[in-house]
Chain A
């Protein structure tokens, strides 16, 4: 049962344009969400997070939006740069049943930013 889903395996965007990566979840007990960026043969790098009490969090070029009623979050990258090309994972966790620090990851979206 895939509790966190990233339905787009890949996305291609022109440099300077906006990249929008989407993520859906099914478990209503999740209340903390994160985005990680990953290059091949490296560990994931933390990008940005959002708590369920917020609907938006911004950090430089990265903004995460959370729609709790739709169980949907998205990551916006503006403007996109070639160095942003990587696999992006969304992850979720919650304070239920002792699940603290147990991240459930989506399957990832490969972002390619074309110069």
Chain B
């Protein structure tokens, strides 16, 4: 099976712009989660989608949003970008709704905000 794929891999934006990141989960997986990794805060949970519904949300401002499509692919959007949004954004997919369903990560999208 192909792994989790994320596009684009690298992105450079300026403050105030918006950005959309894409994630394709492993075939058959219905849960997609997003995480932000920064040197200062480590790996932090953004939100999780399961069967097109947001099931969990982390402690991030409303500028961060996402959605999931019927084929389980997910997109994450950040509006009004700030310098502090520069980070590695990771997507993880899991088969279903059990906590024992292992989350498999994609390679990430490196976002730089200038």
Please give the residue numbers on chain A whose beta carbons come within 8 Å of chain B beta carbons, in ascending order. 31-32, 34, 36, 41-46, 49, 51, 89, 91, 93-95, 98-108
Tell whether, in the assembled complex, residue B58 and residue A102 are in contact, meaning their CB atoms are under 8 Å apart: yes
Interface-central residue, A31, A45, A105, by most chain B CB under 10 Å: A105
Contacts of B35 in A (CB 8 A): 103, 105
Interface stretch (choices B14-22, B61-69, B78-86, B102-110): B102-110
Count how many pairs of residues, one from A and one from B, have CB atoms less than 8 Å apart in the complex: 75
- Main SS of chain A's interface residues? loop
Tell whether, in the assembled complex, residue A105 and residue B43 are in contact, meaning their CB atoms are under 8 Å apart: yes
Contacts of B104 in A (CB 8 A): 46
Please give the residue numbers on chain B whose beta carbons come within 8 Å of chain A beta carbons, in ascending order. 4, 31, 33, 35, 42-45, 48, 50, 55-56, 58, 88, 90, 92, 94, 97-108, 110
A101 to chain B, nearest CB (A): 5
How far, in angstroms, from A93 to B45 measured CA to CA in the complex? 11
Tell whether, in the assembled complex, residue B42 and residue A101 are in contact, meaning their CB atoms are under 8 Å apart: no
Tell whether, in the assembled complex, residue A105 and residue B103 are in contact, meaning their CB atoms are under 8 Å apart: no
Tell whether, in the assembled complex, residue A101 and residue B108 are in contact, meaning their CB atoms are under 8 Å apart: no
Contacts of A44 in B (CB 8 A): 43, 90, 105
Tell whether, in the assembled complex, residue A43 and residue B90 are in contact, meaning their CB atoms are under 8 Å apart: yes
Partner of A101, one of B44, B55, B105, B107: B55
Tell whether, in the assembled complex, residue B33 and residue A102 are in contact, meaning their CB atoms are under 8 Å apart: yes
A104 to chain B, nearest CB (A): 7
**Chain B minimum-CB-distance residue to A4:** B42
Partner of A41, one of B48, B99, B110: B110
A-B contact pairs, 21 of them (CB 8 A): A31-B99, A36-B105, A42-B107, A43-B90, A43-B106, A46-B102, A100-B56, A100-B97, A100-B99, A101-B31, A101-B97, A101-B99, A101-B101, A102-B33, A102-B48, A102-B56, A103-B33, A103-B35, A105-B42, A105-B43, A108-B42
